[in-house]
């Protein structure tokens, strides 16, 4: 990944897979940025729709700043391999991620670069995201994150955020990071291929949270589109979500061991989350017992109401 970096330049990385419905709106949100020192790398990940043509049209209209890339043989290599390909071709001091169905607010890069320059310790910055339903921009909400407005040191955010903690996980489209961070942690985890493409962002964040300070801001900088064609939507429909979660937890265990990482709280959380996969019969029985107990309590409550009615 080593090459000279252009100071102040933000390399925007957008993997594209069958995103023809959304890609124009996504790219337009980059073009609308108040911060103009950026390059956009659109990586076609084996699309079978009109996405590559849309990407090429934008590249031809702004060839200095927009570049189209693809994998050899037009293969579908996955989000992580696509991001790594773009990182190798990037030139920026900073790297920002933008999924092909999400939208940036106009001052996203301007405000994040200013924050990064004012926070020399921070290797990555993110804030809140506005979740909205596809086709209904009024149906939106902002999920809570870890307490904002502060710099977190390793491994605090790994303990606090999903899936080990209770705070929400940030959207990758809200990340701005220093290029050096990607060199230090070895980029994105390509073992999370398209079959396990649901927890790849959590794997990346786990590496970041274990290695570098992260600033959590209180601002909203992006709009996250919820729709049935997303990786998470497809995983839920095909029942792959549980398998992807198990794959991630196994990956995390191996990563922690490989890095000789010792933290009782983190290991306790990992063991708690992997227990149902190691003891599926007991876990199933436990769920049945909990369900029966809840039904019994509801019945008792109704009987109490009747007796006092």
Query: Tens digits of per-residue pLDDT, 272-298?
Result: 999 988 877 665 544 543 454 455 445
pLDDT score recorded for residue 134: 79
pLDDT score recorded for residue 283: 54
pLDDT score recorded for residue 228: 59
pLDDT score recorded for residue 139: 65
* Helical (H) or strand (E) element with 248: helix 241-258
* 267 three-class SS: helix
Model confidence at 1: pLDDT above 90: no
Model confidence at 210: pLDDT above 60: yes
Strand pairing category for 92-97 and 150-152 = unpaired
pLDDT score recorded for residue 7: 98
Name which residue leads in pLDDT, 286 or 6.
6
pLDDT score recorded for residue 39: 99
pLDDT score recorded for residue 2: 54
Whose CA is closest to 189, among 87, 74, 287?
87
Dig out the tokens for 89 from the structure: 């071709």
Dig out the tokens for 129 from the structure: 């995201």
Residue-wise pLDDT tens digits, 153-190: 999 999 999 999 999 999 999 999 999 999 999 999 99
State the Cα angle at 84 between 79 and 88, rounded to 5°. 150
pLDDT score recorded for residue 231: 46
CATH class of the domain at 6-239 = alpha beta
Report whether 25 contacts 54 (CB < 8 A): no
Compute the average pLDDT of residues 119-138: 90
Residue identified by tokens 């990607």 is: 182
Model confidence at 138: pLDDT above 90: no
Residue-wise pLDDT tens digits, 214-239: 999 999 999 999 965 544 544 454 46
pLDDT score recorded for residue 195: 76
Which residues, including other chains, have CB under 8 Å from residue 48's CB and lie 6 or more apart? Answer: 18
Report residue 193's pLDDT band, with 50, 70 and 90 as the boundaries.
confident
pLDDT score recorded for residue 284: 54
pLDDT score recorded for residue 288: 43
Instruction: Enter the pTM of the model.
Output: 0.86
Domains of the chain, by residue range, sit at 6-239
Dist. CA 87–CA 95, nearest whole Å:
8
Dist. CA 266–CA 27, nearest whole Å:
39
Dist. CA 221–CA 205, nearest whole Å:
19
Dig out the tokens for 271 from the structure: 């063991």
* 273 three-class SS: helix
Whole-number average pLDDT of the chain: 89
pLDDT score recorded for residue 78: 95
Dist. CA 78–CA 179, nearest whole Å:
21
Whose CA is closest to 167, among 128, 116, 193, 219?
128
Dist. CA 97–CA 172, nearest whole Å:
6
Compute the average pLDDT of residues 137-164: 92
Whose CA is closest to 173, among 26, 67, 33?
26
pLDDT score recorded for residue 285: 44
Neighbouring CB atoms inside 10 A of 89's CB total 15
Strand pairing category for 124-133 and 136-141 = antiparallel
Whose CA is closest to 194, among 244, 233, 254, 236?
244
Dist. CA 243–CA 4, nearest whole Å:
40
Model confidence at 121: pLDDT above 80: yes
Report whether 184 contacts 140 (CB < 8 A): no
pLDDT score recorded for residue 15: 99
Residue-wise pLDDT tens digits, 107-118: 999 999 999 999
pLDDT score recorded for residue 147: 97
Instruction: Look at 41-45, 175-179, 238-242 and tell me which has the smallest mean pLDDT.
Output: 238-242
Report whether 76 contacts 16 (CB < 8 A): no
Dist. CA 152–CA 122, nearest whole Å:
9
State the Cα angle at 68 between 105 and 22, rounded to 5°. 40
């Amino acid at each position: 990944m080593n090459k000279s970096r252009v100071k102040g330049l933000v390399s925007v990385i957008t993997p594209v897979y069958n995103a023809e419905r959304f890609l124009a709106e996504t790219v337009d949100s980059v073009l609308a940025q108040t911060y103009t020192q950026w390059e956009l790398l659109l990586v076609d990940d084996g699309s079978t729709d009109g996405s590559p043509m849309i990407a090429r049209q934008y590249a031809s209209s702004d060839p200095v700043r927009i570049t189209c890339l693809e994998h050899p043989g037009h293969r579908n290599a996955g989000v992580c391999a696509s991001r790594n390909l773009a990182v190798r071709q990037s030139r920026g001091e900073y790297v920002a991620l933008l999924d092909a169905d999400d939208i940036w607010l106009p001052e996203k890069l301007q405000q994040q670069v200013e924050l990064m320059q004012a926070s020399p310790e921070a290797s990555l910055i993110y804030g809140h995201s506005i979740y909205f339903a596809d086709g209904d921009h009024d149906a939106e909400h902002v999920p809570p994150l870890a307490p904002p407005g502060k710099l977190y040191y390793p491994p605090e955010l790994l303990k606090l955020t999903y899936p080990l903690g209770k705070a929400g996980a940030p959207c990758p489209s809200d990340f701005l990071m220093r290029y050096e961070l990607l060199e230090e942690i070895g980029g994105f985890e390509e073992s999370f291929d398209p079959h396990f493409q649901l927890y790849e962002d959590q794997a990346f964040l786990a590496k970041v949270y274990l290695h570098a300070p992260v600033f959590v801001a209180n601002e909203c900088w992006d709009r996250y589109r919820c729709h049935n064609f997303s990786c998470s939507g497809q995983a839920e429909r095909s029942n792959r979500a549980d398998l992807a979660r198990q794959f991630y937890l196994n990956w995390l265990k191996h990563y922690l061991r490989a890095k000789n990482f010792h933290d009782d709280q983190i290991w306790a959380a990992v063991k708690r989350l992997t227990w149902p996969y190691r003891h599926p019969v007991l876990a199933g029985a436990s769920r049945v017992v909990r369900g029966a107990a809840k039904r019994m309590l509801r019945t008792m409550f109704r009987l109490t109401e009747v007796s006092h009615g």
